[in-house]
Amino acid sequence: MKNITLLTSLVLSALVVAACGKYEKHPVENIDTYRENGRKELEKGPEKEQVRTETIIVEKPVEVVREQATIDENSLIIAPDRKMVFIEGASTTFKVVARSTIQGVKVKLTGKNLPEGAKLEKSPTEADVYLLTWTPKIYTVPAGESLKEVDVKFGLEVTETPSERVKKALESVTREREATLFVKRTQAVPSDLKIEGLADDVAEGSVTKFSVTVKVPGIDGQTPRKPMLTIFNDLGQSAGVEYTEQDGTRHVMIDPAQREAVYAGEQKWKFSLVFDTKNIAVRPDMDRRGQSLSQSAVSHVRFNLLVTSPFGTVTPQVLKLVKIGMNRPVSSPRFDLSGLTGPALELTPGEKMKFNFTVVSGEPSANLKMELPDLKSLVGSPKLSCKVSPNGASKQDCSLEWAVPCAASDDNLKQEIAMTATATIAGRNSEPVRQVLNTIRSKKDKVGCAAPAQATPAPARPAQARPQTQAGR
């Protein structure tokens, strides 16, 4: 027990001695330095807002032209657009790149065998680019074909080199490239179809000349194939009317003075036509059931037109409505000479001709009576006859038959054949209606007629120096 107490006292004494030996040192080293640093921080005041700066690196592509170690076919470049297609009558431009891969070399592009009117010019906005501009003329593509190929050549002229070595080396490099220009026909659709000179209202007994104009791209007056006009009835009807619009194409015919389309310039074509209510009977309006409106004083007709170009393109159709004012009652007889192709019936010597026509009354109960001239005194003794139509007594089917002699002269064939028709309705006769059928000699050659005999000179007698000019002498 005494030993434990002694040991404890020794340990405590050692600790006291150790502590007292370091008592002269401060518990914090350099305390004055820390105080000085604190004072400086207080004097700085609040911290300013920090600004962070970031550096962004933008990489731009830079074209670097390096001088080739060797000069070969790749040193000069001619690169036209892949496919150059032109349209007749339209201006089109394509690009051709022309440059050298050798630093310091400058070139100029030229064209060979370029078609007439084609231009090759340097682009004002793009470096090393040339513009080929061409407007092919119409008919560049041959008839019967849809495409034409034109072979051309592009060449390079070296205008500047960095050294004589490069200049001489380039002399052996190919400087030409072949290319093909393709030309197609225009596929523009004909347009601007107009009817000119035909009013919406016309009078019965009149012959009105009018025209149809249309714009047809791709052809002019030199074309071997002209545009074609089609006149038809679409069987349509205007809405909100009680009558049936009738076929107006029967009143329309080609003007005999101008049978073909005429080119009027600036892609415009003109067709000359006639609207005839004199030689072609006017039919009265009908109701929706197809019955004649006996009290009607007008006839409403309609017809449509369209034009087809030589290339097969077609205009939109145009509708024309015409109101014909009737100058006599519906029941009155009307001659229908719609078989005529002009103002007169044309006759050709040597030809046997038969011309059919009708006379009709708009009143189904009418009975027609015809008065016909005797034509036996005319050359060839033509025959004119009429008979009641199978459709009823309100219609007469008539015909003129004429075997024209080869010897018939122009005066023989220029005739005026006058006919008269009267309609009887419930025992009452209408006013007589007179119609004149004019005939003339056609411009065609005689048909089946032998040529007149030609007098041939007889052999001269030995005692006479003058040859005989007539047989039998």
Query: Any idea what the CATH number is for the domain that residue 217 is in?
Result: 2.60.40.10
Residues 226 and 317 occupy one common structural domain: yes
pLDDT tens profile 105-143: 888 999 999 999 999 999 999 999 999 999 998 889 887
Got the DSSP string for 204-237? TT-EEEEEEEEE-TT--TT-SS--EEEEE-----
Residues 287 and 228 occupy one common structural domain: yes
pTM of the model: 0.66
Mapped onto helix, strand or coil, the DSSP state of residue 445 is coil
Query: pLDDT at position 401, please?
Result: 96
Residues 299 and 355 occupy one common structural domain: no
Question: In which band, very low, low, confident or very high, does the pLDDT at 178 lie, cut at 50, 70 and 90?
Answer: very high
Question: In which band, very low, low, confident or very high, does the pLDDT at 172 lie, cut at 50, 70 and 90?
Answer: confident
Whose structure tokens read 């070139």? 107
Which residues constitute the domain of residue 230?
Answer: 191-327
Q: Is residue 55 part of a domain?
A: no
Residues 176 and 246 occupy one common structural domain: no
Q: Is residue 256 part of a domain?
A: yes
Residues 312 and 367 occupy one common structural domain: no
Number of domains in the chain: 3
DSSP 73: G
The percentage of residues in the chain with a pLDDT greater than 90, rounded to a whole number, is 53
d(CA 340, CA 336): 10
- The pair of three-digit structure tokens given for residue 250, joined into one six-digit string: 């029967």
- The pair of three-digit structure tokens given for residue 265, joined into one six-digit string: 């310039």
Residues 165 and 196 occupy one common structural domain: no
Strand 252-254 and strand 201-203: the pairing is unpaired
d(CA 166, CA 226): 60
Query: pLDDT at position 23, please?
Result: 46
Q: Is residue 396 part of a domain?
A: yes
Residues 282 and 206 occupy one common structural domain: yes
Q: Is residue 153 part of a domain?
A: yes
Q: Is residue 100 part of a domain?
A: yes
Residues 208 and 264 occupy one common structural domain: yes
d(CA 91, CA 137): 10
- Report the residue count for the chain: 473
pLDDT tens profile 301-349: 999 999 999 888 999 999 999 999 999 998 899 999 988 888 899 999 9
Question: In which band, very low, low, confident or very high, does the pLDDT at 64 lie, cut at 50, 70 and 90?
Answer: low
Give the amino acid at 443: K
Q: Which residue has the higher pLDDT, 228 or 296?
A: 228
Residues 255 and 180 occupy one common structural domain: no
Strand 243-244 and strand 286-287: the pairing is antiparallel
Residues 323 and 195 occupy one common structural domain: yes
d(CA 218, CA 25): 116
The percentage of residues in the chain with a pLDDT greater than 70, rounded to a whole number, is 82
d(CA 367, CA 384): 20
Residue 164 has pLDDT above 60, yes or no: yes
